[in-house]
Structure 1
Amino acid sequence: MTARHSGERLQDAPVAISALTGQQLSNQGVSSLADLSRSVPSVSLNQSFGGYGKSVIAFVRGVGQGDFLPAFEPGVGFYINDVYQGTIFGSLADLSDVDRVEVLRGPQGTLFGKSNEGGAVRIFTPQPRGSESGYIQAGYGSYNRRMAKGAYDATLIPDTLFLRIAGGVNSIDGYVDRIDYACAHPATAGTIKATKVGDCKVGSEGGDDAKVARADLRWIVSPSLEMTFSADMDDDRGEPSAEKLLAVNTAATGLTAANSGYGIAYDSRFITNNLSTYTSYTDQKTGVSFPAVNNVFSWGVSHALNWRTPWGVQVKNTLAYRKYNGEFTEIWSNAPIQADDNYFKPEHNQFSEELQVLGKAFHNRLDWVTGLYYYDAHTELNDFIYLPEFSFAFYGKDPVHDSDKSIFLHGVYHLTDKLNVEAGIRHTSEEKLYTFNRYLTSIFGAVPAGATIPGFEHNPQSKASTDRNDYRFSLQYKFTPDLMAYVQYATGFKGGGINPRPSGISDVHPFAAEDLVSYEAGVKSEWFERRLRVNVDGYFSDYTNLQLSIPVFSNGAAGSTVSNAGKVHINGAELEVQAAPIKGMLINASYDYLNYDIIDLGAAAGLAGGPAKGDLAPFVPETKFNIGAQQSFTTPIGVITPRLDWTWQSKTYSDAANSPLTLQKAYGVLDAHLLFETADHKWKANLEVKNLTNQAYYLNKFSQYNTAGMVVGQPARPRTVFLTLQRSFQ
């Protein structure tokens, strides 16, 4: 692993880190980042609900980000081959062809910098080695899931030029049925007309169709210099996220107004008792229609240089450009009566470069690394906000410019062959500029060309700047080659931004960066000839200047205001165990405990929709436990390996206010695998059953109960069965 920018054993690094190889990911059925959080302590990674598109809700040790808008910075950094992914939208990386994944817990403010307040998730793809090897794999399963992928590693010029190409397709049908309400319930449909007769199913939600491709060209220029050129593409076209209506507040202002013109009221009649929804993407009252999509197309190119200079230092440089275009719709009402509909088309491009110089000094007692980082991104948030309950709609076209420059220095000094001291510092300068363009439409009456929402006539701008230093200090002592202990002090931050959902011009304002100071102690150990690995750590974090987003309902529209307030103490413990007690058996387990203690909320105390003392961190369970076990049996034709994985977590809330309407009670999920590999290692088969017990639970919930008047939830996919067959070429 390379958590400190140089290769070292996982057990030798004085940092809380989990690392999984590509084979481990495959055995556990981990195909996306959302699957990863089950087996990694203190990590919560979930696909967001429909209103945030293909985003990942990411929290590590209670700190992260759940809002996709570019006004916010990610609280957890995502990297693919050391290239930073600038937004949480579009970061649900495919993990079907990776070399390894490293998850670093706790602030990584010095070595990684930008928006690594909670931690960092690093994905590494296999590098070309000229092995003339590859594989093809195909699979089929529940909900008409179809998958095919492959990769090949070739030598173009012996000992000099190598190429690896990989690609695949993966599609699955939706699991929440969209039902035409007037077709299914004509007697209570009012003036709403049926669009189907007989079979009332008009579509589904939760389906996906993704195509990925990647090429890496590795050029060994000389024994001391090599370069890697990479290009990748991900075309992910899906149905809207699976969603259900869970509760209705008929007294909410928005719903009272929405009832006009449909002949019926928006109420609990639209709540279903199964995996179905009455969502309609056309407003029959006005004729306005929305595409039922949830798409993102992304691509990128990069160049990595690694030069071992004649002067005893190593130079590494990573240059990258990435771009994506997204499109998704959210019908908050989940009904044919429209109320608060959103359509988004985010566009993003980013350029980044990181230069690292590594070396040794003082007769190899000091390992040092220094570097420069540059990031420049442009995002344009194109949206259409449709509020028919208030006869109001507007188009948004908000450009956002985000830049980051930093310099860092980090060193490890070997005081003795057992005792090491580590120190690091990074200076970061960030700036974010947000411009609000809000144009009225003529759907509800004529408006002058170019007319804006009142107060937004001059396309107001707001800028947030962050300038700060982050520090890291640790002591590490190796009692034996297999037993190490460490203590650590580290800081991190999440950059400032601009309130992105103003309900009026007075709500256009910046907010400052969050701050995190962490104290940690841990022990890493291996026993019985390394058949047993036990890693344990405990931490205390001082979390201040929280970016609190408080919902508001004014000027005829739901909005929010974001301010910095509060102080939270976060303390917790993490345990990871891996054991191979007998031949062919492997057991892995993890446990984490997190106490989120709100000490002070400052000006945010008592605000409706905000947190209160005693509340849990959003999306984060207080306790999570995972255990997996497998046993291999050798037969004359090959090896058979059954495996079980069980994950249990305590209750969670999907909002900072811990509303009972967003509560997900404690639950457990059991997965099963049956793997087979032939004796010649050419064929592999994997029978996978996810959610074996068919446990019903929600990935997240979103409440607008007191504003727009509804609560929606994203149910998890029920039990699925999937069979894959792989042919390897050596």
Structure 2
Amino acid sequence: MSAIPTAASRRSLAVAVSTIALLAGTPVLAQDDAKTAAADNSDSNEIIVTAQFREQRLQDTPLAITAVNAETMEAKSQTNLAQVADSAPNVSLKPQGASFGPSIAVSIRGIGGADFNPAFEPGVGIYIDDVYYPQLTGAVFDLLDLDRVEILRGPQGTLSGRNSEGGSIKMFTRKPEGSNTGSLEATYGSRNRIGFRGSFDFKLTDDISGRISGVYKHQEGYVDRYDFGCLYPAGGGATFTANDGTTKEINPAGGIAATRPQGACLIDKLGEVGYQAVRGALRYNPSSDVDINLTGEYIHDAHTAAGEVLAATSLIDGVNTNQGTNAAQYAGGAPGVPYDNRFICGKFCTFSSYSSPAAVFQQFPFVPDNLPVGGQPLLATNNSDQSVYKAYNLAANIHLGLSDTFSLDNIVAYQNWKAQFGVDDDLSPIPLSGGYNSLTHWNWSEELRLSAKIGDTITAVIGGYYFKQQTNYYSYQDLRYVPVYPLQFIQPDQTPAEAKAVFANLSWEIAPNLTFDGGIRYTKESKEYHYFRLNPDGTINPYLDPVGYYYGAGYNGPDTLDVSPAGLGAFGPLGDGHTDDIVTALTGLVAKYKGSRWDWRGAINYKVTPDVMVYASVATGFKGGGANPRPFYASQAISFDPENLTNYELGFKSDLFDRRLRLNADVFYGQLKNLQIGVSVCPDGTTPCAALVNGGDAKEKGVEVEFSAQPVDGLSFDGSLSYLDFYYTKLNPNAGASLDDPLAGSPTWKWTLGGQYVADLGSTGTLTPRVDASYQSKVYTGSKFGGSPQYIAGYTVVNARLTWMNEGGDLSVSLEGTNLTNKYYYVSLFDLRDAGAGLDKAQPGRPREWAVSVKKKF
């Protein structure tokens, strides 16, 4: 994707706008009486959304929304939120690699978030039953007993609130109805995939009903984790072709020792599935004026780490990363084994060890200088390849009809979760980068809405919102690849945050078929980041901090920081003699962010006919500020401000040809200010630096199209198409990027296409084959190697499902296949070769899989 708008891209956008204008006029092809009959037949399939705080038909809502009901999700074999997002234009939601634990990277129209650290905000709001989920950790939700999913594209600053700069993803569960009905489903498939899900709706009294639902999923991983020394015994004679083209012994004598017996070299399988959840709901609904819903859920997601493979390695400045006079001390007994492409195992395997031996650090891993003095000892670390997420959530949704004019809604929620995961970033037995992470989180929120209907033309909503959270992030970091000095420390950081908001929204039918929707929201928020950097044994001792490792036995305390010992090379002195230059001096510091903001929205829509609506809107949104969670010096413990977006949009929604064709489309143009961008040189000039700052502005434009068609009874098609053009207009020179760099994390083009045919077998039931295909163009990873941007190649994935259902509709058997062409592609790619780590690691997509499901309703 070209970051600078070209003449061709401008012509493409102009053609798209013209096409929208042309299509908006086509419904005259259908006769009014035919429309009425078709409308009667289609009402049962109409999706009702609540994006504007009231129930509306999807086609009557002047927003770019993808809405998917439970039946469609089942037909497409969609069982988690990431799969639903794949079918929406300009939406990306991917599970993260192992280094980020059980979290996701999410973006809408190129705007979102990917870092699980609680110092950052996600940029896309995720909700269940209008309850906000503030963190990316644990957000790959199973679609447990859902009624529908609404994906709102574009800033939702007035409707959803904070951190919905790119848009919002809203899931709505099924409410109890007292029907005394339920369903059970069992699944078996590839790699011992076993799944069960079920629900039961029951009546307690005339006014009280309940519903309970649960899911269990387990599947073996698809990336094999091997013991390198077992698979290639030291001195065994096996060879490989090195990066320089020469043939070398893969594990020379005295090299990397085996930790497992011969014949049992497979340690584990990464990319496992292990998900369990249960949800209970109670509903008190004595009349249409009183509707009280209480829900509670428990989630236990325990599995091996995400399946990652080593894609490439590099040598920095021609120096082997684990070789030389002191290599045995550094590598823990593996002299002469550099970190290079011998550790590239294959498409679906890795040599991750999740351990680092004890050693004395006396050589830089990536620079040619040796220390003149003995180093401090590095402790042995042993981590697990398991990732565990446990959560329980409570919520109350209360609706009270106060009169014919007024109603009150109150949404109260409490969430509590804990996540734990080990890390082996280098994907090899060489101890370059590893660690362990544990996060605990709780939050409490409440939202009040007072709705009023004024006459026949005005609907208004005013409300208030309060949110409070606390996240404790315990981490053990063992980073031996860091230039200048290795880092080995504990960080039990704390991140409290609070937000308050008031808002108002108005819908006014100015004239027949002409409606104005507008809103404002004022948000005030604050966040603190409490830093702790402890020695590996848990003590606070400035004489044993990571800089102490660098200065080794010759380091006598902070007063010697001005000294530049011989052999330091180009790095020069590290400090000015003050304790605020060392990592452990961060302990006790607090970085604080406070801010407030007004958001607004205005939209006008016109019903050209009962089946065609055109609309235009302007809206704002923001991603909240925060603090730098990864400082190397006390001066880097800084905060950053919100990133914000103003979006202009034109669109139409239409049901054409007797409602045989539904076609919705929009074009948009956005202006982003105060982009939150990572820099390699901090504002005070210090390096190394891994801070996020407000470092630029950008613009974006794009086109989105969605359609569904039923050309003949039983045959249906659906699909989407999106185009996104993003370009920087201002950029911090320390961002490591240039104005012509593409957008990271989102494709320029994306499309989906699906089709199915329901064959009527009479008394035998129905047989429904369905095929779905999805495509995304190449994606910039945000990393460069040798100055060149690194991309994930574009790919197409094809899935299929064949379902038989009996005549009564209460028994079905389905056979599904995913990635039918067995396409090898990357979900994520993390290139750290230019960052000093010498590696490029990737998360491959799941290979071809099959499954059989049996579902019984009762």
TM-score range, shorter chain: over 0.9
> In structure 1, what is the Cα distance between the partners aligned to 2:777 and 2:738?
20
Residue equivalent to 1:501: 630
Unaligned runs of 5+ in 1: none
Q: Is the 8 A contact 1:244 1:272 kept in 2?
A: yes
Deviation per CA, 1:237-295: give whole Å up to 9, x if none: 01011111112222279973685332111111101233100000222445421011111
> In structure 2, what is the Cα distance between the partners aligned to 1:678 and 1:243?
42
Residue equivalent to 2:297: 232
User: Is 1:671 aligned with 2:744?
Assistant: no
Residue equivalent to 1:175: 222
Residue equivalent to 2:552: none
User: Is 1:207 aligned with 2:272?
Assistant: yes
Q: Is the 8 A contact 2:784 2:831 kept in 1?
A: no
Residue equivalent to 2:209: 162
Structure 2 letter corresponding to 1:372: G
> In structure 2, what is the Cα distance between the partners aligned to 1:271 and 1:56?
25
Unaligned runs of 5+ in 2: 1-48, 236-249, 359-378, 547-578
Structure 2 letter corresponding to 1:219: Y
What is the aligned-residue RMSD (CA, Å)?
A: 2.3
Task: Flag the 1:671–1:468 CA change in 2: closer, same or farther, 3 A.
Answer: same
Residue equivalent to 1:568: 698
> In structure 2, what is the Cα distance between the partners aligned to 1:425 and 1:665?
41
Q: Is the 8 A contact 2:783 2:830 kept in 1?
A: no
Q: What's the CA shift for 1:236?
A: 0.2
Residue equivalent to 1:281: 354
> In structure 2, what is the Cα distance between the partners aligned to 1:445 and 1:397?
12
Deviation per CA, 1:180-214: give whole Å up to 9, x if none: 11111123434422122123211111002111000
> In structure 2, what is the Cα distance between the partners aligned to 1:177 and 1:215?
37
Residue equivalent to 2:419: 326
Give the structure-1-normalised TM-score: 0.95
User: Is 1:648 aligned with 2:721?
Assistant: no
Residue equivalent to 1:381: 473
> In structure 1, what is the Cα distance between the partners aligned to 2:303 and 2:193?
13
Aligned pairs for 1:396-545 (under 5 A) are: 396-442=491-537, 454=583, 456=585, 458-545=587-674
Task: Flag the 1:89–1:579 CA change in 2: closer, same or farther, 3 A.
Answer: same
Residue equivalent to 2:306: 241
Q: What's the CA shift for 1:660?
A: 5.1
Given candidates 89, 107, 126, the residue that maps to 1:78 is 126
Q: What's the CA shift for 1:400?
A: 0.3
Q: What's the CA shift for 1:676?
A: 1.2
Task: Flag the 1:401–1:181 CA change in 2: closer, same or farther, 3 A.
Answer: same
Task: Flag the 1:474–1:328 CA change in 2: closer, same or farther, 3 A.
Answer: same
**Normalized per residue, which structure has more strand?**
1
Residue equivalent to 2:707: 577
Q: What's the CA shift for 1:525?
A: 0.5
User: Is 1:716 aligned with 2:849?
Assistant: no
Q: What's the CA shift for 1:33?
A: 1.6
> In structure 1, what is the Cα distance between the partners aligned to 2:499 and 2:346?
48
Q: What's the CA shift for 1:468?
A: 0.7
> In structure 1, what is the Cα distance between the partners aligned to 2:837 and 2:585?
23
SS at match of 1:580: strand
> In structure 1, what is the Cα distance between the partners aligned to 2:51 and 2:506?
13
Deviation per CA, 1:628-659: give whole Å up to 9, x if none: 00001011311100000011111002226697
Q: Is the 8 A contact 2:583 2:632 kept in 1?
A: no
Q: What's the CA shift for 1:455?
A: 5.1
Structure 2 letter corresponding to 1:439: L
Structure 2 letter corresponding to 1:632: V
Residue equivalent to 1:39: 87
Task: Flag the 1:33–1:610 CA change in 2: closer, same or farther, 3 A.
Answer: farther
> In structure 2, what is the Cα distance between the partners aligned to 1:200 and 1:257?
24
Structure 2 letter corresponding to 1:647: S
Residue equivalent to 2:400: 307
Aligned pairs for 1:247-262 (under 5 A) are: 247-251=312-316, 256=321, 260-261=330-331, 262=334
SS at match of 1:310: coil
Q: Is the 8 A contact 1:616 1:656 kept in 2?
A: no
> In structure 2, what is the Cα distance between the partners aligned to 1:556 and 1:523?
51
Residue equivalent to 2:831: 703
Residue equivalent to 1:592: 722
Q: What's the CA shift for 1:386?
A: 0.7
SS at match of 1:198: coil
> In structure 2, what is the Cα distance between the partners aligned to 1:667 and 1:467?
42
Structure 2 letter corresponding to 1:98: L
Q: What's the CA shift for 1:223?
A: 4.2
Structure 2 letter corresponding to 1:393: Q
Q: Is the 8 A contact 1:429 1:466 kept in 2?
A: yes
> In structure 2, what is the Cα distance between the partners aligned to 1:183 and 1:236?
31
Given candidates 152, 164, 189, the residue that maps to 1:116 is 164
My pick for the range that moved more, 340-349 or 509-518, is 340-349
Residue equivalent to 2:258: 194
Asked which structure has the greater CA Rg, the reply is: 2
Given candidates 761, 766, 773, the residue that maps to 1:639 is 766
> In structure 1, what is the Cα distance between the partners aligned to 2:146 and 2:220?
25
Task: Flag the 1:78–1:370 CA change in 2: closer, same or farther, 3 A.
Answer: same
User: Is 1:371 aligned with 2:463?
Assistant: yes
Residue equivalent to 1:610: 736
Q: Is the 8 A contact 1:597 1:614 kept in 2?
A: yes
Deviation per CA, 1:70-99: give whole Å up to 9, x if none: 111110000001100011111111114211
Deviation per CA, 1:282-330: give whole Å up to 9, x if none: 2244542101111110110011110011262110000000011000122
Residue equivalent to 2:41: none
Q: What's the CA shift for 1:500?
A: 1.2
Q: What's the CA shift for 1:615?
A: 2.2
Structure 1 letter corresponding to 2:259: T
> In structure 2, what is the Cα distance between the partners aligned to 1:144 and 1:633?
31
Task: Flag the 1:431–1:613 CA change in 2: closer, same or farther, 3 A.
Answer: same
> In structure 2, what is the Cα distance between the partners aligned to 1:177 and 1:457?
40
> In structure 2, what is the Cα distance between the partners aligned to 1:65 and 1:255?
35
Q: Is the 8 A contact 1:503 1:555 kept in 2?
A: no
SS at match of 1:456: helix
Residue equivalent to 1:216: 281
Structure 1 letter corresponding to 2:491: G
Q: What's the CA shift for 1:111?
A: 1.1
My pick for the range that moved more, 394-403 or 705-714, is 705-714
Q: What's the CA shift for 1:416?
A: 1.2
Task: Flag the 1:450–1:386 CA change in 2: closer, same or farther, 3 A.
Answer: closer
My pick for the range that moved more, 384-393 or 348-357, is 384-393
Task: Flag the 1:444–1:373 CA change in 2: closer, same or farther, 3 A.
Answer: closer
